[in-house]
A and B are shown apart, each in its own frame.
Chain A
Amino acid sequence: MVSKDDKANWSPPKPHLEVGSAPEGVNAKRVQGRRLTGPQQGFGQLWQKTYKVAISQKTPEQVIATWKAEYGRFWPSHSKFYAPVTGIQPGEVGLIKSTSGPVPLSTGVLVLYSDDVSFCYMTPEGHPFAGFITFSSHVEDPVGTMAQVQLLIRANDPAYEAGMMLFGSKAEDRMWEHTLRSLADYLGSSSPVDTKVVRVDQKRIWKNFNNLKYNGALPWARRSKGPATPPR
């Protein structure tokens, strides 16, 4: 077998994330200087969530090229993804602003890996979950080309774990199902999204309890005295 040189597909080493210039209205403070968190640096139970949809008449390469180029377009309206200026390239940081939960969220992701048929994000400290989100496309017999999102994640801290159990996990499912439906629709396909959720590890990692210190939602939650109202 011939070795593939995949060095260019991976992010260079990133001890701490660096955000270049943030778009107006986006808070990059919760990403700038933060370390990455893999599943073993998170707190909550480990979940593998796989969402996939059939995309007819397209090759996996075409699906991924479109997905990368138009990534934010497929997100629900309550969340916005600010792609890196240079596009989805290994080592670049994308910023996220979301108002889907009870607390507005500003966070980001590192593009950990990218090739012609897949790309993968890794989350930083302070993100609701620790882990990887992999977007890929492949051919499945007899269906044909599939687009897939696979999450391998733990809630990053006890507060996010509670939020995930109460509403976050279902919201996560809705978000990625929406994303895949939008992608399929954009590419001229109308197949239903298939969702598979597996709890890989039911144990929580208590030594990571202190990840709470990176949770940007908590100071705001503590200041709030009345009904949840996002700060202006």
Chain B
Amino acid sequence: MTVREPKGDVRIIDIAGELTSFSEPVLAEAYEDADRPGVKTVLLNFSDLDYMNSGGIGLLVTTLIRAQRKSQALGAFGLTDHYRQIFELTRLDEAIGIYDDEQSALKGS
């Protein structure tokens, strides 16, 4: 996972490959890297996600709690229709803003 700074108060975490419970240390490290003073929004980029299981959904919940603790908004973009449906099924979309692409995510943040 890599962390980018598209604008001052926003960070993007690019998620590549698999997201499962075994990704916990990697995502935690990426979030720590993204969590700098003044950051108001953290966006998760799922464009290069290959696979996610229910453990990955659990990881997103704990990441959301981390963001809320820091009064940061958590957003997501680049989801396939399938994973967008999973966000809706698990009702994660009620707490994590979903955007079609990076541009609209940045506009919405």
Are A and B genuine complex partners? yes
* B82 contacts chain A at the CB level, 8 A cutoff: yes
Query: In the complex, how many angstroms separate the beta carbon of A7 from the nearest chain B beta carbon?
Result: 6
Neighbouring A residues of B28 by C-beta, 8 Å: none
Interface residues on B, range: 20 to 34
Q: Considering the chains assembled together, what is the distance between the CA atoms of A195 and B102 in angstroms? A: 41
Interface residues of A in 86-126 (CB under 8 A from B): 112-113, 115, 118, 120, 122
Whether the Cβ atoms of B53 and A118 lie closer than 8 Å is yes
Select B61's contact among A7, A11, A39, A113, beta carbons within 8 Å.
Answer: A39
- The answer to whether A38 and B53 touch across the interface, beta carbons within 8 angstroms, is no
Q: Is B8 on the interface with A (CB-CB < 8 A)?
A: no
Set of chain B residues within 8 Å of A39, measured between Cβ atoms: 61
Let me know if A11 and B89 touch, CB within 8 A.
yes
Question: Residues 10-51 of chain B: 1 if any A CB is under 8 Å from the residue's CB, otherwise 0?
Answer: 000000011001000000000000000000000000000011
**Nearest neighbor of A3 in chain B, beta-carbon distance:** B50
Closest to A198 in B: B62
User: Whole-angstrom distance between the alpha carbons of A173 and B82 in the complex?
Assistant: 34
Does A152 lie within 8 Å of B61, measured CB to CB?
yes
What residue in chain A is nearest B51 (Cβ atoms)? A4
B94 contacts which of A40, A122, A201 (Cβ < 8 Å)? A40
Q: Does B55 contact A (CB under 8 A)?
A: yes
Cα–Cα distance between A40 and B53 once the two chains are bound (Å): 19
Contacts of B65 in A (CB 8 A): 46, 200-201
Interface residues of A in 109-148 (CB under 8 A from B): 112-113, 115, 118, 120, 122, 132, 134, 136
CB contact under 8 A between A150 and B53, given known A38-B90, A40-B92, A40-B95: no
A41 nearest CB neighbor, chain B only? B91
- For the complex, what is the distance from the CA of A38 to the CA of B95, rounded to whole Å? 10
B64 touches A40 (CB 8 A): yes
Q: Which 6 A-B pairs have the closest CB atoms?
A: A120-B54, A113-B54, A4-B51, A40-B95, A38-B91, A3-B50
Chain A residues close to B by CB (< 8 Å): 1-4, 6-7, 9-11, 13-14, 36-41, 46, 48, 112-113, 115, 118, 120, 122, 132, 134, 136, 150, 152, 200-201
Identify 29 residue pairs between A and B in the complex whose beta-carbon atoms are under 8 Å apart, listed by A's number. Answer: A1-B18, A1-B50, A4-B51, A6-B51, A9-B53, A10-B82, A10-B85, A11-B89, A13-B88, A13-B89, A14-B89, A36-B90, A37-B91, A38-B90, A40-B61, A40-B64, A40-B91, A40-B94, A40-B95, A46-B65, A113-B53, A113-B54, A118-B53, A118-B55, A122-B90, A132-B54, A132-B61, A136-B55, A201-B65
User: B residues bordering A, Cβ < 8 Å?
Assistant: 17-18, 21, 50-55, 57-58, 61-62, 64-65, 68-69, 82, 85-86, 88-92, 94-95
8 further A-B contacts with Cβ under 8 Å, apart from A13-B88, A150-B55, are A6-B53, A10-B86, A13-B89, A40-B92, A48-B62, A113-B53, A115-B53, A132-B90
